[in-house]
Amino acid sequence: MNHVAMVPDISTKDEAVLHVEGGGVAGRPVLLLHGLGYASWAGHPLRLRLSPTVRLLSLDNRGTGRSSRGSAPISIDRFASDAATVLEQLRERGMGRTPVIGHSMGGYIAQLLAVARPDLVSHVVLVSTSGGGPTATPVPEATRRLWLDSSTLPADEYAVRTMPVSFAEGWPAQHADAYQELLAARLRYLTPPTVWREQYDACERFLEAGYDHSQLTTPALILHGSADRVVPVENGRDLHWTLPSSRYREVEGAGHALHLEHPEIVASEINDFLTTDHASNKE
C-alpha cells in the first residue's frame, strides 16, 4: 500500500501559501480540486465514502479556504501550476502519478493540469464541468445574473443567497439538515468577494478559449447531473465525446454540486474507475 504523510503548506514564488487538507499514513493519494469559491470543506462527504485504499487530499485554491492569495494574476493555468506543485511534492515522497478529481472550476484546472503535466497525473475525474471552447454550453443567464448581482454583498450573505443554485431545485429544502451543515461549513471558510471575482473572470476566459481536447490522453471519468443549473449537462456529454479516453455517468435529477448531493454515487464511480480497465467507454 502507498503511504504519504500530511502534506505541509507550500509557499510559491509569488508568496502564496497553498494549503492541502488531508494526508495521514495510509491509502493511495488522490488530489481534489474545487470549484469557484469553494474549498476543502466541500471534500468531506466524499472523503467519508471513498475506499479505505484511497487517501483524499484537498487543495484550497489560492485565496480560498486556508490558502493565501499571493501576488500573481489569477488564471486557470495558474491554478494548474499550483496543483502541479502539490503533485511534485508527492512525487518527492515516493509517489507515482496521482489521480486528480476536479469539480466545476476544479475540472477546468484538472484538464489543463493533465495536458501540461501528464507525468504527474494518472487519471482525471471531471465532475460537473466543461471543456470550454466554441462547443461549450454557457452558464445559464439566470445563474450568471444571480452571481453578479450578489457579488457586492458581504461574503457570508453572498454564500447564503447563491449556494442553493448549486443544487438541484428543491434539494436544499428536501434535505434541510444536510444542506445547513454544508452551508455552515462554507461559512467557516469564506471566499473574499475580490477573490471570487478573480476566479469568476478566470473561468470566463477558460470557457471562451477552451483547449485542444485531443491533447488530454489521460484516462478520464466524467460525472454530471442532469439538472445542473450552473454547468449544463450538455457540457458533460460533449466532454465524453471529445476526450479520447473517457467514460461517462449521468445522474438523473442531480444538480451541480453532485459530490455533495450524491457523494455515495460519486465515490462508488471513483472507486471503480481507479481499480478497473480504462479503455474508452463510448457507445
pLDDT tens by residue, 30-86: 999 999 999 999 999 999 999 999 999 999 999 999 999 999 999 999 999 999 999
Residue 280: which pLDDT band, with cuts at 50, 70 and 90? very low
Q: pLDDT tens digit string along 115-163?
A: 999 999 999 999 999 999 999 999 999 999 999 999 999 999 999 999 9
Q: Residue 214 has what pLDDT?
A: 96
Q: Residue 7 has what pLDDT?
A: 82
Could you give the domains of the chain?
10-273 (3.40.50.1820)
Q: pLDDT tens digit string along 162-212?
A: 999 999 999 999 999 999 999 999 999 999 999 999 999 999 999 999 999
Whether residue 167 contacts residue 255, with contact meaning beta carbons closer than 8 Å, is answered with yes
Q: Residue 211 has what pLDDT?
A: 98
Which residue has 445559464 as its cell numbers?
140
Q: Is 18 exposed, middle or buried (0-12, 13-18, 19+ CB in 10 A)?
A: buried
Q: Residue 16 has what pLDDT?
A: 97
Residue 278: which pLDDT band, with cuts at 50, 70 and 90? low
Residue 12: which pLDDT band, with cuts at 50, 70 and 90? very high
C-alpha 120, offset from chain centre: 17
CA proximity to 60, closest of 84, 35, 85, 30: 35
CA proximity to 122, closest of 281, 273, 282, 280: 273
Determine the average pLDDT of the residues in 85-105. 95
Long-range contacts of residues 199-203, Cβ cutoff 8 Å, at least 24 apart = 199/36, 199/37, 199/61, 199/63, 199/64, 199/74, 199/105, 200/36, 200/147, 200/151, 201/74, 202/74, 202/75, 202/76, 202/78, 202/79, 202/105, 203/36, 203/76, 203/105, 203/108
Lowest mean pLDDT among 118-132, 221-235, 264-278: 264-278
Q: pLDDT tens digit string along 139-148?
A: 999 999 999 9
CA proximity to 51, closest of 277, 271, 283, 278: 271
CA 201-203-206 angle, to 5 degrees, is 115
Q: Residue 93 has what pLDDT?
A: 86
pTM across the whole model: 0.95
Q: Is 227 exposed, middle or buried (0-12, 13-18, 19+ CB in 10 A)?
A: buried
